[in-house]
Structure 1
Amino acid sequence: MNRITVAALGALALAGCAQPRAAGPDGAPLTVKIVAFNDFHGALETPGRAIDLQAADGSVVKVPAGGAAYFASAVKSLRAKAANSVVVAAGDLTSASPLVSSLFLDEPTVKALSMAGLEINAAGNHEFDRGAAELKRLQNGGCAKLTKTEPCQLEPFKGASYAYLAGNTIQADGTSLFPGTALRSFGSGRRKVTIGFIGLTTRLTGNYVDPAGIKGISFADEADTANKLAAELKAKGADAVVMLVHEGGYPARSDQPEKCDGLSGPIVDIAKRLTPAVDVIVSGHTHRAYICDYGVTDPAKPLLLTSAGNNGVMLTDIDLSFDPATKRVTAKHARQVIVQGDGVTSSAGPVKPSAAFPAFAADPAVAAHVARYAAAAEPRARRVVGRASAPILRDEHDDMKESPLGLLIADSQLAATRASGAQVALMNPGGVRASISAEGGQVTFGDIYTVQPFGNNLQVKEMSGAQLRAVLEQQFAKTDGTALLFPAGLSYSYDLSKPEGQRIIAPMVGGKPMRDDAVYRVTVNSFLGGGGDGFSTLKAGKDVAGGMLDLDALEAWFARGQVVDPPALGRVKDVTPR
């Protein structure tokens, strides 16, 4: 279970980013509600789990959260309470999705979020997973086949009714692949105010997606781009600027989504370098939930910084108040709203709605839409591919720890390429998208598809021991954050107290000491093989063989006719002195 501790979440409000001032001669302040979210990842169906929340009385209760039909209802409920409102997102709404969405190229998610009223989305790195051309199709519609999967399987695809923004996606001619800004006006006459929106993806998007799909596109610095675009928006008459950016931070505690104590990560550096013209940052990417009054850190930049976690389990409800005479922002408030539905049936049994938090009825139209695609996906999703003795878990919070599922995937990929001489396999933690619950001991195609939805081919690379050592050393020296690769056929220790380049200790391949001058065959997925996740060292290997899809390799591992046990940890040992 995920635990999120929230003190009186339903009533939580953050204020103080700008002190309220008396209204001007035109009367009461004009307030605009911004309903924000991020990292939806095609989570159309209510997850078969609940999240733990701390209620106002201090007790911890289980709350069924998520699901597109309840999400749409929650959005509409918030908007119904405001005379002026807009719905925005900070990226990764599609891809890395469950089968019910991914099997159909995420077309059902685009339509569901359009039905929910989304207006503006800053494209995230995962939205480029299938390439820039396919992302353009999600915006504009149509049934052109641009990937291995057939589009428009159930109905013609009209495209998103919301606008994708990505002002730092720079093409070879210097123009941006997607627009960088949008303007929205609220109120009328002398009381009209205008908000400018900036949309950006993380500048590291190129590290996270297949280079072939973004050929000729570079990703500019977020703060530099935002400062330029904010000035342009102000020149066009924007009274406030809201930045939607698919980059985020890590609060010291992940169980307090209404706070941001000890916030670290790229969003902190971005905020430090932003122009004071930016009033609100809606962030994402890290899957953490937080609300920050950045003015406490830097009074010269009294901006509001938010993130709503992931998978549609919560929304951030933001209110901006304006003096209609001066057009200045006079107050900023935010609260997190849990998307609680009718209940779920989890592996631990049924979870009913909690009276401690508001519940939302399912939106009928969105529910019917999701049900149609779920019915179409069900025959494939329910097909049993094997059996497991226990749940096989990934680590959802620490990319520097082994996980049983990560090791199992590496094992499956090594087995699938043994015929090509593979001796080692390496799997990236970002490619492991969900745990396998193995309910009733069964593992279904839907389970493994949710784990590996990207459709990467396996590659066998020939590398010297010295080159393989450099790959392992890069785990601790990447500029975009550390990440432990899950190994098969390989074991070693590491000591982070040693100098860079000398941290890998006693690596063993096939039970024998790895030699720098020996040649090894190493299996990776095509994403990693192209330098994905910042592993530029993997590009040094010589491609010697291709392989099956990563998903097919995982299915073959479960189809061997034996009950699969979660692999034991310990292939990688941290021996850093404490």
Structure 2
Amino acid sequence: MKNNHLSLCAALAAACLLAGCATPPPVPPIELNLVAFNDFHGHLEATKFSYTDRASGRPVSIQAGGIAAIGAALKAWRQEDKDLIFVGAGDLVGASPAMSSMWADEPSITALGKLGLNASSVGNHEFDAGRAELLRQQYGGCASPRPAKACQLAPGFAGAPFRYLAANVLDSATGKPILPAYTIVEAKGVKVALIGAVLRDTASVVMASSIVGLSFTDEAEAVNRAVLDARAQGATVFVLMIHEGGHTVEAFDEPNCKQLKGPIVDIAGKLDPALRLIVSGHTHNGYQCELGTRVITQAEMGGHALSRIKLTLDPATRTLRQIAVRNVAVRPGQYPADPAIDAYLATVKARSKDALTRPVARIAVPTVGRVASKSGETALGDLVTDAFLAATRAQGVQIAFTNMGGIRKDLDVGDDLSAEYGEAQIVLPFANTLVAMDMTGAELRALLEQQWMRAHADAKHSMLQVSHGFSYRWNPAAPAGKRLVAGSVKLNGEALDDNKSYRITTNNFLADGGDGFPQFAKGRNRVDTQIVDLDAFVAHLAEAERAGKPAGSHSTAGRIEQGK
């Protein structure tokens, strides 16, 4: 009887196996693929990308970025995963090359839509032309504060096909957001919340007149509220795109970098634990860093690099298990072209050619650069401030200043030494005007001391550039506020008199106290000359050539010195 029972059990087991009753195989994890970038700044064409090769430690300079190369890469990657999500972290436009800026950046916004961008946070440069222009760029139309540029490339403008996000930008009167805090996209059955924010200190880097009636609130608080709201809408994965960042000495493609510093680190520490992926921007520093359970990325700027991000999810809960990131340089010709993107670029280039290729002047060297000396002076800063001084001498100006943030690219003209308008425009793309004002010698010294009293101040990023005839020495060992060496601040070789008034000029952004220099806003007898900085620069280059002394140098002029 016992043997019959065993035989029956064996038969039943065999039948169960034949009928598929075996333990089912484990459900594989869900993989989502994202591509992220930041600070595109309207770079429709490839530009120079300089970095240190991680393997050899040697400096490398290549052409990278541009919508043709980005489009080709995205097309290839979408063949690997048709559900790929493409996101941005602000400053998609603004401070743009002429091919984009001369058309109110409409070509860049249209091109990014054609590239399939899902969403981007706003950046500070999205506010350059004011709230109304930002909303026009999102929703379309031709009513613009830049009527000579808007809707001139093509009749009508439909607005951005992607979604701009701004969790922490409110209308001051109503307290309501001016744009959505987040959007939810669905990929492979997973609801992914894309949340956007901009640096709380936007007011310090944007013209005050451009953000009237807006308030910028704490980034983490606004983002955490958006996480709660998006979770209630069914989202299980959360991605923050924030236009704020940090710096690291590690290579842009260093895996799992550990030395990230700056505002983004503090913000990350205050975020909801569910927010494990942060796509950052603003600092133009490529990195892919781990910070506890979070991953923070940034893809340099100008489309030079893209962050390829793979998210591995639990198939049951659809929550994040693992994040893998690779920052990759985007080289033209690396992937088969996307004909639609190439055709659009060709159309914009053809429309822009005459303006961009207009000869300006021959200069003395192929490249006048922005690399700072130990003291903080740059060869291009010398050239730009000399141009500002020359443009305003007739109004009694004796000294010109500019900030390095206003000088966006090297003046790079190539071996023929012939500068074209487009090459000059990319140096000074904001169309700021020059403002003249009076300051005493004591006030000028106070102004210079503010260079080391600003947030994140350092010699490479914070130093004001100064014009011919003005010079000083500073001591890095002295405390902030007392770094000027006594008696070293001079104009044409004579020490500044604290009680004497001097006529100075700078761009209208600095003149209003921007970039952390409130002393400029205290200047007296202020006159906006209405001279555009780029016009002054172009005129200076042309005049130097006519005088038989082409402008520009590889080296600095020694106006700013460091030491006791």
- Report the TM-score, using the length of structure 1 for normalisation: 0.86
1:457, distance to aligned residue in structure 2 (A): 0.6
Aligned to 2:298: 307
Decide which of 274, 277, 280 is 1:277's aligned counterpart: 274
Q: What letter matches 2:338 in structure 1?
A: D
Decide which of 510, 529, 532 is 1:549's aligned counterpart: 532
Judge which range, 161-170 or 59-68, deviates more. Answer: 59-68
Decide which of 466, 484, 498 is 1:516's aligned counterpart: 498
Asked whether the equivalents of residues 395 and 401 of structure 1 are also in contact (C-alpha less than 8 Å), the reply is no
1:379, distance to aligned residue in structure 2 (A): 1.2
1:544, distance to aligned residue in structure 2 (A): 2.9
Aligned to 2:451: 475
Aligned to 2:400: 425
Q: Which runs of 5+ in 1 are unaligned?
A: 1-23, 296-301, 343-358
- % identity of equivalent residues: 38
Residues 487 and 50 (structure 1), Cα distance of their counterparts in 2 relative to 1, 3 Å cut: closer
Q: What letter matches 1:575 in structure 2?
A: G
Say which SS state the counterpart of residue 244 (structure 1) adopts: strand
Say which SS state the counterpart of residue 204 (structure 1) adopts: helix
Asked whether the equivalents of residues 252 and 299 of structure 2 are also in contact (C-alpha less than 8 Å), the reply is no
1:310, distance to aligned residue in structure 2 (A): 1.0
Structural mapping, 1:27-46, within 5 Å: 27-46=27-46
Residues 390 and 57 (structure 1), Cα distance of their counterparts in 2 relative to 1, 3 Å cut: closer
Aligned to 2:228: 231
Residues 397 and 285 (structure 1), Cα distance of their counterparts in 2 relative to 1, 3 Å cut: farther
Aligned to 2:184: 183
Aligned to 2:511: 529
Cα deviations by residue, 1:10-67 (Å, 9 ceiling, x for unpaired)? xxxxxxxxxxxxxx998221221111111111111123x4656748799987654222
Q: Which structure has the higher relative contact order (CA within 8 Å, separation 6+)?
A: 1
Aligned to 1:540: 522
Asked whether the equivalents of residues 409 and 427 of structure 2 are also in contact (C-alpha less than 8 Å), the reply is yes
Separation in 2, partners of 1:477, 1:61? 34
Cα deviations by residue, 1:225-271 (Å, 9 ceiling, x for unpaired)? 22222222223322121110011111123454445342111111111
Say which SS state the counterpart of residue 320 (structure 1) adopts: strand
Say which SS state the counterpart of residue 559 (structure 1) adopts: helix
Q: What letter matches 1:412 in structure 2?
A: A
Say which SS state the counterpart of residue 278 (structure 1) adopts: coil
Structural mapping, 1:217-366, within 5 Å: 217-254=214-251, 256-295=253-292, 302-342=293-333, 359-366=334-341
1:546, distance to aligned residue in structure 2 (A): 2.3
Question: How many positions carry a matched residue from both structures?
Answer: 526
Say which SS state the counterpart of residue 276 (structure 2) adopts: strand
Q: Which runs of 5+ in 2 are unaligned?
A: 1-23
1:397, distance to aligned residue in structure 2 (A): 7.6
Residues 238 and 200 (structure 1), Cα distance of their counterparts in 2 relative to 1, 3 Å cut: same
Separation in 2, partners of 1:38, 1:293? 19
1:311, distance to aligned residue in structure 2 (A): 1.1
Asked whether the equivalents of residues 289 and 296 of structure 2 are also in contact (C-alpha less than 8 Å), the reply is yes
Separation in 2, partners of 1:536, 1:224? 28
Asked whether the equivalents of residues 420 and 545 of structure 1 are also in contact (C-alpha less than 8 Å), the reply is no
Separation in 2, partners of 1:52, 1:529? 34
1:123, distance to aligned residue in structure 2 (A): 0.7
Aligned to 1:161: 161
Asked whether the equivalents of residues 339 and 360 of structure 1 are also in contact (C-alpha less than 8 Å), the reply is no
Separation in 1, partners of 2:310, 2:82? 12
Cα deviations by residue, 1:80-100 (Å, 9 ceiling, x for unpaired)? 212532110001111111111
Aligned to 1:395: 370
Separation in 2, partners of 1:309, 1:215? 30
Aligned to 2:479: 499
Q: What letter matches 2:457 in structure 1?
A: G
Separation in 2, partners of 1:435, 1:204? 27
Residues 97 and 437 (structure 1), Cα distance of their counterparts in 2 relative to 1, 3 Å cut: same
Decide which of 572, 575, 578 is 2:560's aligned counterpart: 572
Q: What letter matches 2:558 in structure 1?
A: G
Give the root-mean-square deviation of aligned CA atoms.
2.2
Aligned to 1:86: 85
1:337, distance to aligned residue in structure 2 (A): 2.7
Asked whether the equivalents of residues 185 and 191 of structure 2 are also in contact (C-alpha less than 8 Å), the reply is yes
Asked whether the equivalents of residues 307 and 328 of structure 2 are also in contact (C-alpha less than 8 Å), the reply is yes
Separation in 1, partners of 2:411, 2:351? 22
Which protein is bigger by CA-based radius of gyration? Answer: 2
Separation in 2, partners of 1:54, 1:434? 22
Say which SS state the counterpart of residue 405 (structure 1) adopts: helix
Separation in 1, partners of 2:146, 2:251? 36
Cα deviations by residue, 1:197-236 (Å, 9 ceiling, x for unpaired)? 2101111211111111110112112222222222222233
Separation in 2, partners of 1:143, 1:50? 35
- Report the TM-score, using the length of structure 2 for normalisation: 0.88
Question: Is residue 2:216 matched to residue 1:203?
Answer: no
Cα deviations by residue, 1:409-435 (Å, 9 ceiling, x for unpaired)? 101101111111111110100111111
1:179, distance to aligned residue in structure 2 (A): 1.2
Asked whether the equivalents of residues 379 and 552 of structure 2 are also in contact (C-alpha less than 8 Å), the reply is no
Asked whether the equivalents of residues 193 and 238 of structure 2 are also in contact (C-alpha less than 8 Å), the reply is yes
Aligned to 1:103: 102
1:148, distance to aligned residue in structure 2 (A): 6.0
Say which SS state the counterpart of residue 252 (structure 1) adopts: coil
Cα deviations by residue, 1:91-145 (Å, 9 ceiling, x for unpaired)? 1111111111111111111111100000100011111111121111111111113
Cα deviations by residue, 1:306-344 (Å, 9 ceiling, x for unpaired)? 1111111221111112222122212211112332223xx
Say which SS state the counterpart of residue 100 (structure 2) adopts: helix
